[in-house]
Structure 1
Amino acid sequence: MATIASQVVLHPTVSQSLKYGSTTLGRDKAYRAIQYFARFYAWYLLSKGDKDAAARWNALKTHLGTARKLLRLGKPMEHLQAALRACLSTGPAVEQVTTIARQISYFGYLTFDAFVWANSIKFWTLNPETSTRVAKISNRFWFAGILFSIVNGVTKSVRLARETKKLQSTQKWGEKTLAAEAERETRLSVLLAAQENTRHQLIIDLLDAWIPATALGITNLNEGALGIFGLITSLIAAQKQWEAVNGKK
């Protein structure tokens, strides 16, 4: 019996899950996936007329959203630092400008989101009109950040595709040293990895953009669609974090 218990408790997957959950980003992505699933499922239950069950899932969605805002309280400064580092770095002008704009937008989004959190826990009470205005400003910054990220991703994808094609089509004229060929293969591997990461981020941005856009009244998607979009992007981000923590297979 003890052997069976040890095989379950000490299973590598359990250990990897604990390692993943020990990171703030890992917990955030797990909470986000459950939050957006709850958003979808509450909508589904309401569409079936089951109001009592829907209320439970709505409560779960709301409390997870509040918990995630608490986890993000320190993140505005991270984005401000990232914007400053982007200012000091060199690179393609469009990518640099959109990176800076994206980071500043996320700084604004998370800063105003902190006021939304403070109001939601009654630590700092805002009147309904001010609360609505603060939430709207937060969503505007979020939407702007996603748009800048999409422009950055498209521009970067085009550049990486061009560089990859050029490197792949390099003709092997005459003799080349093993060191030169190894360097070419390493560079190609880096480009392909960057393409994959950029593609994943583009998918996330293209789906997530609908969430603040709907909150701002730009689009009119139902809660079910937004829940599914959020769940998909959460799982993609969670997988990337899992690979970063436990090593890519």
Structure 2
Amino acid sequence: MEREEQEWIESPDGWGTKEVCRANDDDGDGCIDLFGNDDPNEYFTFTIQLDSGTTKTLQLHGFKLDSEETDRSTGVTLWQAAPRLASFLQIHPEVCRGKSVLELGAGLGLCGITAHYLGAQSVMMTDGDTQTLQQMRENVRQNCDDNHISCRQLIWGSPHMENFVIQQGKYDTVVGADVIYTHDSVQPLLDTVACLLERPHGQFVLSRFSKWNNVDDEIVIDAAKQRHLTCTRPSEGIFIFQWDEIC
């Protein structure tokens, strides 16, 4: 069954609801067709090392980094923090194995699909961006063959996250890769993590590669502290947030 979703686009320049013109819009109001440039498509491959000693190669359909699609909708390409996070999960499969996993800003779905193949009990991949969700769902259909992975819209912040937790519950592990593009998105992101992360042993694994719009790591870490989440940095660009002892 198709889900009711709010039309919503995230670009590197801003965060929030934007008007989107569809390719079949005939009213000629001057909006840009997001999917109208020549051959913007690209396929990204990533190989997962499985516990069995075998490998699984994923092929994710998205759009070129320099395409108009990516310029207007950040999640329709593969940013460098996603392979970094997927590789970290392979080195530390205990983060996912047997756990309920939620991915925020899942984009093309690399990290969530990786968590699935690393033995997650269940995976919920989310994005606010409606264009991105289309690509994510197609990638799940092409790369996964069971029903333990879902894709849903989640726009960070209240009341959307509160409705989400009522419907879906909380998660043992929350992950996100290059999900911070503006200062305005930091507080809603951490509010969402605090709302959806299981207590007391849940953990939020964040991968950062680019510091968009000068959002420094300390800004994110301080916002997490305000929500009783403490940070460790096990490797370059990887941040793990866990509930502090008073929680």
Q: Which category of TM-score, normalised to the shorter sequence, fits these structures? A: under 0.3
Q: Bigger radius of gyration, 1 or 2?
A: 1
Higher helix share: 1
- Taking structure 1 as the reference length, the TM-score comes to 0.20
Higher strand share: 2
- Taking structure 2 as the reference length, the TM-score comes to 0.20
